[in-house]
Structure 1
Amino acid sequence: MSASYIPYHPEQQQLLPSALQDWLPQGHLAYFINDTVDSLNLSGFHMRYAAGGPRNQPFHPAMMVKVLVYGYATGVFSSRKIARKLHEDVAFRVLAAENFPAHRTIREFRALHLSEFTELFVQVVRLAREMGLVKLGTIAVDGTKIKANASRHKAMSYARMQTTQAALKAQIAALLQKAANTDEAEKNEPDLDIPAELERRQARLAAIEAAKARLEERQRQSDAQRGRSTDDERQPKDKNGKPKGGKPYQRDFGVPASKAQDSFTDPESRIMKRAGGGFDYSYNAQTAVDETAHIIVAAEVVNTGSDVQQLPMVLAAVKIHTGSAAGQVLADAGYRSEAVMAELATTQPDTELVIALGREGKVLVKPRDAKRYPHTVAMAAKFETAKAKLDYRKRKWIAEPPNGWIKNVLGFRQFSLRGLAKAKAEFKLVCLALNLRRMGAMRAS
């Protein structure tokens, strides 16, 4: 006797059209993103198309926003992969409602609306606060390095720029001399397309000179911040221009180190040390996370590896996004700075700072000059109390999980866009998607 199976007829056509919404279970993230985006103000996205004009009929901005946000919330960042998902993934098809924009359309929509996505991040933070998921009692600030969309093989050190620049100038001079030779002399030379060779070398020389100028300008700014001047003759000097003690500077004002590098693919990215060893062209992503539900209330990006000067910028963003300052801020020793603590005491006097002065569990050399370092001495005294130690222990489980989710759950380890401004906007899109994913999970639970 043969077995009896549930009917299976893959060739059978459906007699009535099916509803895509029936293909996803209730409580699916796609539904939450769909409903949330519909509740947000998308006027900024619509403004670009309001003028009309002779162009193809655009896709609806709400649909494009939903597809992009859901893509980032599920770890699909490539416009090509999103376009493929629109055909293969039920959740994407539900959000797109049987629209199939090409990958170029998705890419261009994202690039054209970076400022609008930034504003959308702020709207989601405020929505989370209305839902009671952001209370600003305690927030923790942390930074993480994210790889830039820049090739390590398309970069050059300052020393190599100098040697390559001289070599290219010599080659260009030789080609110009060859072009000036008589026709009789050229007959004995192998065939060579001199104009094409000149153009290629001149373009290469221009790129190197621009990169060299960027490195030198960056070094001049760094030297000026250290109190150096163009006429210091490599000698440390005080504010009055008089020589003071200390080792002489190794290089003249504005001259970069030989190993200083610049990228040709993303000049605004910087070489930064990555976790586990090694170096990559990266950006430093800063997040401020609320204690209540791990919602990211500020997401900023800088192209300096150090966190030490970033706290005022991040806390100012928190105040702008939420309309009020946090009651307490937790930060690790990377943010320790007497000048920063003095600034925040003036700009955000109602916010309690708990900033570590060193690695946890290490014996620290505590500052004793209260006149010179009043805020640092006061912070050291605060960490002698049991309350401050207990408060600071919360920092790890508040600040670090969202960065882990961004890299290990969403899989966002490298920016798709190039340039600091675009990286800032893309990181806000990532944090916007993560916040919605978190809000959806909290709502379901």
Structure 2
Amino acid sequence: MAFIESKNQFWTLPPDIRDLIPSDHICYLVESFVDEMDFSEFEIRYDGSGHPAYHPCIMCKILLQSMLDRVRSSRAIARSVRENVVYIYLAENPQPDFRTISDFRKENKKLITELFKNTVKAAKDLGVIGLEQLSTDGSMVKASASKNNVVLEEVLRVIGEYVKNELKKSIEIDKVEDEHFGNCRGYDQLNESEKHKVKAVVAKYIKQVNKDKSDTRKKEIEDIIKEAVDEFEKDSIEKVSLTDHESRFMKNKKGTFDLTYNTQITVDHKLGIIVANEICQDRTDTYQLKSQIELVEGNCGLLKEGTKICADNGCYSGNNIHFLNQKKLDPYIPEHEEATKTSTESVDDIRFVTSNFKYNEENDEFICPENQKLKFVYEGYDKERKNTDFTKVLNAENVSLV
């Protein structure tokens, strides 16, 4: 039997890479979409002498294609640029390595956001987004951070002071001894576990500095400590991670606590296209609904009156209902599960939960189970949540509905 042999055959003429890609492949849409974007700001930034940079148009094409292929790893994207004809075509033969791809994503967040907005705008222009019904939901995404690298504020400040002093001396790792820490203010007040944490972290950073022998690395370590300290001042938290200081401890579906981010997504019902997304540090979804609606309107324009807004009971609050009613949107948000009476609770204890209050849109007031009206008085500021909180009054008693 004869077999087709092609291994040792040569091309008479060099092939066109597009002959290897189906004519209806989505990469052509990606190419035409990105080619219409304005990159003049980048061209001005990179104008002048120096090593040529990869054009942001190329980087956006391979990043957008990787999003469609659900490939998030910069190393996997770099491998595709070397081996996958679709990515080779979009990259126009240059092969940026994983670090270049990773740095581009981190340093050009504004451009990536603009790329998403343009995608939503194009979908709207094509008529595949209806904006008649939207659904919003949140999901916890585990951060790439270890619980072992979490420290208390007082421990972090001790680490910061000691690292700052010892890095100036270029101390070697074998000189990190207890007597050095004794000179550090606050160290003697830490317990044994916290003292061990200080010594371990300081030893790690000093080892890195001795290995790199550069002032740049010293500056990076000092910045890590400063950024972590800033998180304590920005948010009322007990512990912060040194490897991912912006992550927060949140309860997952298994009932355990992990260093996590809260991701919010809003989807249009017509074809399930995402029209808004955001990542936050809030442990609940209650305060994210307003932000998502504002993002949708920023991406797609003002929503029409009567647009259906769907969310789970995590978004059920007086603030959210008031906000949606003000914009004349149609909310579909289930109330919180009715409180169950325990052996130690009376009926009166559970009657006045917020889910038992009715809202009168016309008069902007709530009606309690006793048929008493709670009139709007003023807007307060919730320092812990950093959000506006409506306060209502019932028979001269302040009642805060959240």
For this structure pair, what is the TM-score category when the shorter chain's length is used for normalisation? 0.5 to 0.7
Q: Residues 25 and 280 of structure 1: is their aligned pair in 2 closer, same or farther, counting only changes over 3 Å?
A: same
1:374 to partner: Cα distance: 6.3
Partner of 1:172 in structure 2?
Answer: 180
Matched, 1:50 2:44: yes
Partner of 2:346 in structure 1?
Answer: none
| Alpha-carbon separation, structure 2, partners of 1:165 and 1:62 | 41
1:206 to partner: Cα distance: 10
**Residue pairs, 1:43-442, within 5 angstroms:** 43=38, 45-51=39-45, 52-157=47-152, 171-172=179-180, 174=182, 200=206, 211=228, 214-215=231-232, 218-219=235-236, 260-325=238-303, 327-346=307-326, 348=327, 350-358=328-336, 366-368=355-357
| Alpha-carbon separation, structure 2, partners of 1:36 and 1:375 | 48
Per-residue CA deviations over 1:50-96 (Å, capped at 9, x if unaligned) read 25122122223222111111122213222222222111111111211
Asked if structure 1 preserves the Cα contact closer than 8 Å seen for 2:27 and 2:90, the reply is yes
SS of the aligned residue for 1:284 comes to strand
Per-residue CA deviations over 1:414-444 (Å, capped at 9, x if unaligned) read xxxxxxxxxxxxxxxxxxxxxxxxxxxxxxx
Asked if structure 1 preserves the Cα contact closer than 8 Å seen for 2:324 and 2:330, the reply is no
Q: Residues 314 and 175 of structure 1: is their aligned pair in 2 closer, same or farther, counting only changes over 3 Å?
A: closer
| Alpha-carbon separation, structure 2, partners of 1:118 and 1:173 | 45
Partner of 1:23 in structure 2?
Answer: 20
The one-letter amino acid of 1:310's match is Q
Per-residue CA deviations over 1:105-142 (Å, capped at 9, x if unaligned) read 22232223210111121111111111111111110111
1:369 to partner: Cα distance: 6.4
Per-residue CA deviations over 1:207-256 (Å, capped at 9, x if unaligned) read 7797567436633xxxxxxxxxxxxxxxxxxxxxxxxxxxxxxxxxxxx6
Asked if structure 2 preserves the Cα contact closer than 8 Å seen for 1:338 and 1:375, the reply is no
Per-residue CA deviations over 1:182-229 (Å, capped at 9, x if unaligned) read xxxxxxxxxxxxxx98x959x99997797567436633xxxxxxxxxx
1:37 to partner: Cα distance: 2.0
The one-letter amino acid of 2:322's match is A
Q: Normalised by the size of structure 1, how large is the TM-score?
A: 0.60
The one-letter amino acid of 2:20's match is W
| Alpha-carbon separation, structure 2, partners of 1:206 and 1:75 | 33
Higher relative contact order (CA closer than 8 Å, sequence separation 6+): 1
| Alpha-carbon separation, structure 2, partners of 1:167 and 1:87 | 46
1:319 to partner: Cα distance: 1.1
Q: Residues 166 and 116 of structure 1: is their aligned pair in 2 closer, same or farther, counting only changes over 3 Å?
A: closer
Per-residue CA deviations over 1:241-284 (Å, capped at 9, x if unaligned) read xxxxxxxxxxxxxxx6xxx3211122121111223343221211
| Count of residue correspondences | 310
| Alpha-carbon separation, structure 1, partners of 2:153 and 2:68 | 40
1:8 to partner: Cα distance: 1.2
For the aligned residue pairs, the C-alpha RMSD in angstroms reads 3.8
Matched, 1:13 2:10: yes
The one-letter amino acid of 2:9's match is Q
| Alpha-carbon separation, structure 2, partners of 1:172 and 1:200 | 13
Asked if structure 2 preserves the Cα contact closer than 8 Å seen for 1:211 and 1:264, the reply is yes
| Alpha-carbon separation, structure 2, partners of 1:320 and 1:209 | 34
| Alpha-carbon separation, structure 1, partners of 2:302 and 2:272 | 18
1:162 to partner: Cα distance: 9.3
Q: Give the unaligned 5+ runs of structure 1.
A: 177-195, 220-255, 379-445
Over the matched positions of the two proteins, sequence identity in percent amounts to: 27
Matched, 1:36 2:33: yes
Asked if structure 1 preserves the Cα contact closer than 8 Å seen for 2:142 and 2:259, the reply is yes
1:357 to partner: Cα distance: 0.4
Q: Residues 206 and 322 of structure 1: is their aligned pair in 2 closer, same or farther, counting only changes over 3 Å?
A: closer
Per-residue CA deviations over 1:156-188 (Å, capped at 9, x if unaligned) read 246876998999997436469xxxxxxxxxxxx
